[in-house]
């Protein structure tokens, strides 16, 4: 096979991610499209999907919505976060950590990260708490859950709400508690590359707070309560879950553990294979451990661009998720700390590079990736 820039031998985003579920997806589309009920959003399949995750994760309620980003917005709105309020978020991560705060009229306050897990550092967060702070919004990152015990303690001591961005972290468990279950509310994302991804957008809010869940349910559907259509109790959003995707996710739920296990095995093999490369400028996360989840396998490399070019020449596609910190993004620059982006966040943005990781990644391709990374780090040709 000829390797080209357009068609790497090992793509980062696998185009055949749902190939094994093709018939199930077509069946779901036909079933919903021909259902006499003709309900394409927030129907009985969505309710079943909510119940399945609620039961699986032990939460009092689960509310499906249109995306992980929308889930964060709904939670912040339902908590009453708004103008004049501040929300402490990590300085390194996905844009919704800041944009959702701004969308409700509040101000994101950027805290530095832990250098190993790349998640919000509780000590740095505590330094930023003021009388305007309303919430902490940590995010689990790549394959590490944030230090939720310390963050929950900080929230309790300071009277803050804790919003857990667990969009990436399906399969993660820390001290026996699943990702998404540590805060006042947690959120998941189901966009295709996530651990429980699907061929579309979708998200879920998890909470034990019945009043909060009720507000989120209304806000996701233009402020309606679900019983009286065209009676709007709040200014809400269009954040409704698709019935085809609900049916598809219910179909795929049975295989989630197997897919998580395969992704975890690949992650652990990568980590064991790269454990001796730190002295050569390539730092890998350790294998296994509490609070880990197999969303993305991310290295920190002193010569990130060099490694990326080397892997491309070897037919391995890679991805740099966050080449800039959030305060360095033009959209969020007005809210950047006076001293600039925090140093650990800047370092992570400079060095992070992610390798291919999906359940059907063949062992031979995994070894191709391992060999190419080791060859670069040890100064050999591919």
Catalytic positions: 194
Torsion of CA 150, 156, 161, 163, to 10 degrees: 20
- Beta pairing partners, 238: 221
Q: Of the candidates 68, 138, 73, 64, which has an alpha carbon nearest to the alpha carbon of residue 99?
A: 73
The answer to whether 373 touches 274, Cβ cutoff 8 Å, is yes
Q: What angle do CA 178, 104, 99 make, to 5 degrees?
A: 70
């Amino acid at each position: 096979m000829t390797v080209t820039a357009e068609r790497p031998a090992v793509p980062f985003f696998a185009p055949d991610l749902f190939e094994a579920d093709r018939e199930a997806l077509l069946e779901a589309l036909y079933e919903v499209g021909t259902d006499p009920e003709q309900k394409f959003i927030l129907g009985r399949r969505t309710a079943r999907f909510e119940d399945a995750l609620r039961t699986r994760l032990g939460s009092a309620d689960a509310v499906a919505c249109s995306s992980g980003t929308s889930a964060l917005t709904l939670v912040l709105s339902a908590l009453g976060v708004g103008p004049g309020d501040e929300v402490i978020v990590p300085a390194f991560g996905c844009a919704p950590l800041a944009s959702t705060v701004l969308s409700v009229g509040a101000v994101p306050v950027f805290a530095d990260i832990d250098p190993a897990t790349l998640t919000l550092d509780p000590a740095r967060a505590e330094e930023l708490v003021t009388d305007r702070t309303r919430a902490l919004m940590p995010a689990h990152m790549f394959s590490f859950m944030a230090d939720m015990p310390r963050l929950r303690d900080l929230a309790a001591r300071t009277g803050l709400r804790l919003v857990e961005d667990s969009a990436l972290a399906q399969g993660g468990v820390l001290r026996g508690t699943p990702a998404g279950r540590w805060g006042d509310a947690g959120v998941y994302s189901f966009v295709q590359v996530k651990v429980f991804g699907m061929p579309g957008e979708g998200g879920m809010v998890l909470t034990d707070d019945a009043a909060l869940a009720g507000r989120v349910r209304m806000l996701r559907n233009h402020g309606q309560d679900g019983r009286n259509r065209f009676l709007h109790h709040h200014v809400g959003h269009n954040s409704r879950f698709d019935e085809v995707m609900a049916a598809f996710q219910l179909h795929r739920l049975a295989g989630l553990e197997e897919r998580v296990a395969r992704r975890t095995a690949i992650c652990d093999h990568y980590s064991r294979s790269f454990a001796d490369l730190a002295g050569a400028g390539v730092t890998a996360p350790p294998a296994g451990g509490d609070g880990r989840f197999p969303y993305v396998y991310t290295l920190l490399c002193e010569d990130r661009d060099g490694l990326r070019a080397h892997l491309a020449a070897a037919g391995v596609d890679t991805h740099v998720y966050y080449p800039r910190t959030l305060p360095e993004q033009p959209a969020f620059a007005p809210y950047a700390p006076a001293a600039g982006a925090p140093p650990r966040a800047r370092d992570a943005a400079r060095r992070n590079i992610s390798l291919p990781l999906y359940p059907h990644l063949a062992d031979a391709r995994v070894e191709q990736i391992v060999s190419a990374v080791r060859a670069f780090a040890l100064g050999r040709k591919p």
